[in-house]
Structures are given as C-alpha cells and as structure tokens.
Amino acid sequence: MLKQRLYLNRPIYVGFTILDLSKTLMYDFHYNYIKDKYGSRATLLFTDTDSLCYNINTDDIYQDMMEDKHLFDTSEYNPEHRLYSTLNKKVLGKMKDETHGIPIQEFVGLKSKMYSLIYEENKKLCEKKTAKGIKKSVIKHDTRHEHYKQSLFNKEIHMSTMTQIRSYDHTLYNISINKLGLSPYDDKKIPTR
C-alpha cells in the first residue's frame, strides 16, 4: 500500500498565519495598551478582522496618541493636523484611524458586521454604514443612519430590495429579492444599555 503524501503547494497556511499574527497584534494593542492606559474609561464598540473601534473618555485623545505616536500610522490625517506624520506610513502592525483624525459623533451597532457611524468632515456630516449580506449600493442609496437608530431603539425591522442575476435551468434571469436588511435581534450576544 502506498503512503499518502500531503503537498502544501498552495499558500493557505500563509493566509492562516497572517490572520493569526493580525489577531495577536490586535489583542496586544487592546490589552497591553488600551486597557492598561484607560481601564474602564475605554469601551470596545466593535471589532472586525482587522479593526477595533473604541469609545474612550479622556481629556484629549490626540495628546494621548502623541505620547505613543510610535504605535500609530497617521499618514492619512490632514497635513495640518498636529498628529500628521508619514513616519509610520504603511508600516505593518501600526494602528490606523478609520476617520483620519476626525472624531466619530455617533455610533449605532446592531450586530456583527452591521453598524453605522457619523462623523463631520469639511463641515458636512458623513455616514459610514455596513450591513453584511446587503449590496453596498443598497446600503449607500437606501439605508440611512436613522434606520439603524430606529431598528435599535424602536425594534423596527428594515427590509432591503435588491436586484440579482440568477440562473435557472441554464437561463439567466434578473430577479428582485426582498431581504431582511436591518434587524435589532442579535443571535450572538445579549445587548446592554
């Protein structure tokens, strides 16, 4: 009987290793920097594969970041911002600011990969919205931050209508799908207020 051989000729293990190293960096930042520095004054709002979002109660978050500038990539900040620097630009393991130095004014998190946040940029309110399973064009044009708030506080469910191309018996059809968009019911955790 021949022995079976395993050929690792695809870089799946490299992707797995990169993901684990990313998790290690994020856990290290969370526990050894944020929790050490702020303790109960920092609340983790959400985390994703490559991001953390906090509500931090401090006098001046930018002064705090200035003291630990070596941990952050602030190259996408406005060049006039006091933290702007290209020193850590694209350096692996450095934390970036999703809103480029602009404070988030409001955050609504419904469940995993379903949140909305508002920040002010150039004297205009901007929204960043995500909803897993819903097309980005539908989120951009049909979903508003207010819908997330209504879903969370009024327990409202918002349906989303999307057009998709489907194949039945080797014939392509354009079909319209009415899908659950925003829902206050999270089956992965118990909400707190």
Cα dihedral 31/106/77/28 (nearest 10): 10
Checking phi first, is residue 104 left (phi over 0); if not, alpha (psi -120 to 50) or beta?
beta
- pLDDT score at 77: 96
Q: Where are the alpha helices (DSSP H) in the chain?
A: 12-29, 35-38, 61-67, 136-142, 145-154
Residue 191, pLDDT > 70, answer: no
CB atoms inside a 10 Å sphere around CB 142: 15
Residues 47-50: contacts with CB within 8 Å, 24+ apart? 48/113, 49/19, 49/22, 50/22, 50/26
Cα 15 to chain centroid, rounded: 20
Helix (H, G, I), strand (E, B) or coil at 4: coil
Q: Which amino acid is at 80?
A: E
* Contact in structure between 53 and 60 (CB atoms under 8 Å): no
Q: Please tell me which residue, 98 or 57, carries the higher pLDDT value.
A: 57
Question: What is the spatial distance between Cα 144 and Cα 123, in angstroms, rounded to a whole number?
Answer: 19
Q: Report pLDDT digits (tens) over 130-164.
A: 999 999 999 999 999 999 999 999 999 999 999 99
Domain residue spans of the chain: 102-186
**Average pLDDT in the 79-104 region?**
93
- Other CB atoms closer than 10 Å to residue 177's CB: what's the count? 11
Q: What is the mean pLDDT of the chain?
A: 92
> What pTM value is reported for the model?
0.80
Least confident residue range of 122-131, 149-158, 180-189: 180-189
In terms of Cα–Cα distance, which of 68, 72, 67, 69 is closest to 52?
A: 72
- Both structure tokens of 160: 């989303």
- What's the order of all strands across the beta sheet hosting 124-131? 104-111, 114-121, 124-131
CA-to-CA dists, residue 134 to 72, 156, 191, angstroms: 32, 17, 23
